[in-house]
Amino acid sequence: MAVALKEGREVRGVEAIAERPDGTRVRFLPYPTPLRDASGRLVGAINLLMDVTEQHDAELESARLAAIVVSSDDAIVSKTLDGRITSWNAGATRIFGYEASEMIGESILRIIPPELHGEEREILARLQRGERIDHYETVRVAKDGRRVDVSLTVSPLRDRSGKVVGASKVGRDITDRKRAEKMQRVLTDELAHRVKNTLATVQAIANQSLVRAKSPTDFVSSFAGRIHAENVAWAFIARTAGQSAHPSRQADPRHRGRAAGGDGRGIDPSDGGVRSRRAGRHPRARETADRGVRLRRGSARRQSRGPAGR
């Protein structure tokens, strides 16, 4: 107002802050305008104050959201209801390889595998009904042809009247997670397979020991000896596995039979010992297993004789 009176001109575009009696502050735009008489002489001024607090807060929120979109590692994309891309952030560029200039105005189908185009049509139909889609896992195609596992959250965009005019998509790259889940399934299946094999071996050992046992004590001794032999065989294989797998040993014809050979026999009840399928593949492993069984047998016979039998 002072400037308008002193210089005789309008003042526009200057934002100011006023404090109310209750201490709250209000942002406003002043519109001081000089008043002149019929001769053009300055006789006063009139001022209009426009409250722009809400507008200012909205601009701050928009700037904050824009910063989040720009800096996000997730792909954040907006599109029209016919699938035309209207915005493309840096996260989308990092995940899919396309720059914003390459994608804005293009169809979203450009990054969707041909076999999943029907999926996109269903998403657009749900958006037109005002539905939101949360954490939908699917696949997209990067610029270099890679298939990218993504988790999508899709929300409808509305105009001032509440009409749905487009959609925003937030896509998170979950390729590493999917790869880890696949590896976990493989390891779990392998573990289950190994446990089943181990239990089958133990059951076979128990059955053979029971058939040949003459007493409970004899069964315990025979069973323990066979388990011990199995452990000895496995320990020997573990110690020599690295040597057997060495390229120089694999190339040597003298070691080929040891790496792939063995008679492949399972449990042999005729000698009272246990020859596991894996132990049977290595001659030294079989010798070690048989030696363990013989030691256990001798110990069992000495215990059964007692002092009177000596």
pLDDT digits (tens, 9 = 90+) for 101-149: 999 999 999 999 999 999 988 988 898 888 999 989 999 999 999 999 9
Q: pLDDT category, 285, cuts 50, 70, 90? A: very low
Same domain, 90 and 165: yes
pLDDT of the residue at 5: 72
Q: State how many domains the chain has.
A: 3
Mean per-residue pLDDT of the chain: 78
Same domain, 104 and 203: no
Inside any domain, residue 124:
yes
Inside any domain, residue 294:
yes
d(CA 23, CA 141): 56
Q: Point out the domain boundary residue: 173, 188, 218.
A: 173
pLDDT of the residue at 138: 94
Same domain, 199 and 299: yes
Same domain, 111 and 131: yes
Same domain, 106 and 45: no
Identify the H or E element spanning 293.
helix 283-305
Question: Which residue bears the tokens 């010992």?
Answer: 273
pLDDT of the residue at 301: 56
d(CA 164, CA 144): 34
CATH code of the domain containing 165: 3.30.450.20
Taking alpha carbons only, the member of 300, 276, 298 closest to residue 288 is 276
Q: Point out the domain boundary residue: 173, 204, 219.
A: 173
Same domain, 272 and 192: yes
Same domain, 240 and 268: yes
Give the domain range for residue 255: 179-309
Which carries the bigger pLDDT value, residue 160 or residue 87?
A: 87
Same domain, 275 and 243: yes
Inside any domain, residue 66:
no
Whole-prediction pTM = 0.50
Q: pLDDT category, 203, cuts 50, 70, 90? A: confident
Inside any domain, residue 62:
no
Same domain, 184 and 155: no
Same domain, 186 and 255: yes
Inside any domain, residue 61:
no
Inside any domain, residue 68:
no
| Alpha helices (runs of H) in 246-282, residue ranges in sequence order | 247-251, 253-260
Same domain, 44 and 113: no
Kindly tell me if the per-residue pLDDT of 205 is higher than 70: yes
Percentage above 70 pLDDT, the chain: 76
CB 77 within 8 A of CB 109: no
pLDDT digits (tens, 9 = 90+) for 231-280: 888 888 878 765 655 555 554 555 444 433 444 344 444 344 444 444 44
Which amino acid, residue 164?
V
pLDDT of the residue at 15: 83
pLDDT of the residue at 309: 44
d(CA 110, CA 108): 5
Q: Point out the domain boundary residue: 127, 154, 173.
A: 173
Same domain, 88 and 163: yes
CB 283 within 8 A of CB 235: no
